[in-house]
Chains A and B, each alone.
Chain A
Amino acid sequence: MEDQEKRFALILFLPSFLLLLLITTAPLVFLAWNSLQKLDLGMPWISGFTGFGNYVKMGEDPRFWNSLSLTIIYTFSTVVLQILIGLSLALLVLKIPRGQAIMRIAAILPIVLAPVVVGLFWRTLVLAPDFGLVDLVTRALDLGNYNWLGDPQLALISVIAIHTWQWTPFAFLVLLATLATLPPDVFEAARLDRANAWQRFWHITLPLIRPAIVMVIILRTMTALSAFAAIFAATGGGPGTSTEILNLYAYRTSFTELNIGYGSALAMVLLGITMLVSWTLFRHRRKGST
């Protein structure tokens, strides 16, 4: 019986496994190999094996550390914002069953759009000084006008806002759905015990939806770490390097500066970070789930 099961399992599993092995491992090996080379299309005469030279260089490269810190800031803020806003919204909407349908429809829109389109829209229609929506609003409210994508600090805030705008609906929908399945009698019991709204939330609701929150955190973190198209379309990593997260830095190094060796090394580091973060989060999930 066990052999039969094993055989059955392998028949089902191997095709996908082998396919993935083929199309992801080979490029990965290529990438790793490139990261150990000096490979610069602009200077073909210096090509050659360099071992960990690229990685050492990375340690001394201020632009790398800048991109690393930007990545951390970006990922952390967008995920936290998404959870906070998504959860608050879900709790809010829970009480107005009539409004839920419209909310769901509005929530779907940002999620289905292509990130490259989102970045483009925001850059040209929303954040553009003089013609953009935001400018219209700030002028109407007499808050002055700002160059959202042209100012280094504001640009970072803007790209965080764009990402949050696009993915918060996801957290919202998921948490709303989860909240809707919570049994009401637990809350009744708590109310009878004279627990106030905050206590009810903290001690009952939160633990119950914890697995959902954790899952959302995991998924959204992975998305944030690999965010590319939206920022690329909106700022290209600028102004200067103020929105150049590691992903974008690797792209610019490989494709604009043509330093393929160093760009590959940067991509490897990004891979390493992504794996580290997901591994940590997954361990947490396993530990935390009952």
Chain B
Amino acid sequence: MNRFGRQVTLYVVSGLLVSVWAFPVLWAFLTSFKTERDVLAYPPMFFFTPTLSNYKEVLFGTSSILPNLWSSLVVTCSATFLTLCFAIPAAYSLARLRYPFRRSSGFYILATQMLPPVGLVIPYYLALQRFGWLDTYSGLVIIYLTFSLPFAIWLLVSYFEDIPYEMEEAALLDRAGRWRALWFIVLPQVGGGIAVTTVFVFLNAWNEFMFAVVLGGNRVRPVTVAMFNFISVEQTQWAKVAAGAMVAMAPVILLGLLAQRHIVKGLTVGAVKGGGRR
């Protein structure tokens, strides 16, 4: 096959794959503009009169998920911020400094990521209840830390490891002191890594479902739970579920699209970084 033919095939195959990845989301997007009646039409319709009523209902109706967007925002941002505050220093020390039991404590942190959430839900419920933290922001944020923190530490360690020692040593020789070395020399170098970590931590926290539904309640109710408002016992309003899901996922999709260059750039540093849950 000549070069042109090869190029064409490449484009075609790539196009096919793009559609496989993008299509379910696009289909949901389309569905969110259909009336409930059109959703059930057979064969499924590609062309129809669009309506904004689903979005109106989802955003402004009685089961509006706007308060839930806010809930999600507060919980996710707090969890992300706290995670970074704890994780950055911890990752730095794990990567660069020497202190007793460094190896084993590092492994311990890694191991905590493997605890199955299924087994943790009940103890968490009981613990939160004892402190009166059920259905509160503090309670949920602390629980989110349990999976965000180890993950963030582990991610950041690999970024810290990639900075050449010489940089810090130069700073230390300049009698800059360890804190200044950390703050002014090392941290700017891992700026990209911190950005990538932030993005992934945010994503994981935003998309959490099981803990949100069991440990949250009326006041603290992230969007992943609120979406199910439209799946009632009597009927499932598919168009509204689709609209609800679009609204719920809009922030993370936006984040992904904006940060994608960033993410990819970060991924090229040395061996691979990054990950996701479940």
A and B touch in the complex (CB under 8 A): yes
Q: Which residues of A contact B (CB under 8 A)?
A: 2, 4-6, 8-13, 15-17, 19-20, 23-24, 26-28, 30-31, 34, 89, 92-93, 95-96, 99, 102-118, 120-122, 124-126, 130-133, 136, 139, 165, 167, 169-170, 173-174, 176-178, 180-181, 211-212, 214-216, 219, 222-223, 226-230, 247, 250-251, 254, 260, 263-264, 267-268, 270-271, 274-275, 278, 289
Q: Residue on A with the closest CB to B272?
A: A215
* Contact between chains at A212 and B271 (CB < 8 Å): yes
- B176 within 8 A of partner (CB): no
B253 touching A109, Cβ below 8 Å: yes
- A165 pairs with B89, CB closer than 8 A: no
Contact A109 B256 (CB under 8 A): yes
Check B44–A136 contact: CB distance below 8 A.
yes
Chain A contacts for B277, CB-based, 8 A: 115, 223, 226
B52 is an interface residue with CB less than 8 A from chain A? no
Known A-B contacts A222-B114, A267-B118; the reply to A125 vs B27 at CB < 8 A is: yes
A residues within 8 A CB of B27? 125-126, 133
Considering the complex, give the chain A residue whose CB is closest to the CB of B113. Answer: A222
Closest to A215 in B: B272
A167 vs B142: C-alpha distance in the bound complex, in angstroms? 27
Q: How far apart are the CA atoms of A181 and B268 in the complex, in Å?
A: 7
**Given A267-B119, A271-B116, is A9 in contact with B28 using a C-beta cutoff of 8 Å?**
no
Which residues on the B side are within 8 Å of A275 (C-beta)?
111, 114
- Determine if B14 and A103 form an interchain contact, defined as CB atoms under 8 angstroms apart: yes
Taking a contact as CB atoms closer than 8 A, the residue among B111, B119, B255 that contacts A268 in the complex is: B119
Among A112, A121, A169, which residue has the most Cβ atoms of chain B within 10 A?
Answer: A112
Indicate if B159 sits at the interface (CB-CB under 8 A).
Answer: no
Chain B positions within 8 Å of A19 at CB level: 86, 145, 149
* B98→A28 contact, CB < 8 A: no
Is the Cβ of A23 less than 8 Å from the Cβ of B99?
A: no
When distances are taken between beta carbons in the complex, the residues of chain A under 8 Å from B267 are 173-174, 177-178
Contacts of A250 in B (CB 8 A): 116, 118-119
CB pair B207 A114 closer than 8 Å: yes
B residues with a Cβ closer than 8 A to A are: 6-7, 10-11, 13-14, 17-18, 20-25, 27-28, 31, 39-40, 42-44, 86-87, 89-90, 92-94, 97-100, 102, 105, 108-120, 122-124, 126-127, 142-143, 145-146, 149-150, 153, 178-179, 203, 206-210, 224, 227, 236, 238, 241-242, 245, 248-249, 252-253, 255-257, 260-261, 263-265, 267-268, 270-278
Q: Which of B105, B114, B256 contacts A108 (CB 8 A)?
A: B256
**Docked-complex contact B278 and A130, CB < 8 angstroms:** no
Cβ contact within 8 Å between A5 and B99: yes
Contact for B42 among A15, A95, A130, A230, CB less than 8 A:
A130
- Chain A residues touching B, majority SS: helix
Q: How far is the CA of A165 from the CA of B206 in the complex (A)?
A: 20
- In the complex, what's the smallest C-beta–C-beta distance from B123 to chain A, in angstroms? 4
Give A12 to B98 CA distance when docked, in angstroms.
12
Q: Is the CB of A219 within 8 A of B274?
A: yes
Chain A proximity of B99: nearest CB distance (Å): 4
Question: What are the residues of chain A within 8 A of B209 when measuring CB–CB?
Answer: 114-116, 229
Are B224 and A89 interface neighbours, CB within 8 A?
Answer: no
Q: How many angstroms from the CA of A264 to the CA of B116 in the assembled complex?
A: 10
A122–B98 alpha-carbon span in the complex (Å): 49
Q: Given A111-B256, A130-B42, A173-B267, does the pair A10, B119 have CB atoms closer than 8 Å?
A: no
B25 touches A109 (CB 8 A): yes
A16 contacts B119, C-beta separation under 8 Å: no
Q: A17-B105, A219-B274 are in contact. List 7 more A-B contacts (CB 8 A).
A: A99-B14, A109-B25, A114-B207, A114-B248, A117-B224, A173-B263, A274-B116
Residue of A nearest to B153 (CB): A16
Check B249–A12 contact: CB distance below 8 A: no
| Residues in chain B near residue A214, CB distance under 8 A | 271
**Nearest residue, chain B, Cβ from A163:** B278
Contact between A274 and B114, CB atoms less than 8 A apart: yes
Given A13-B105, A103-B18, A178-B272, decide whether A131 and B42 contact each other with a Cβ distance below 8 A: yes
How distant is A219 from chain B, measured CB to nearest CB, in Å? Answer: 4
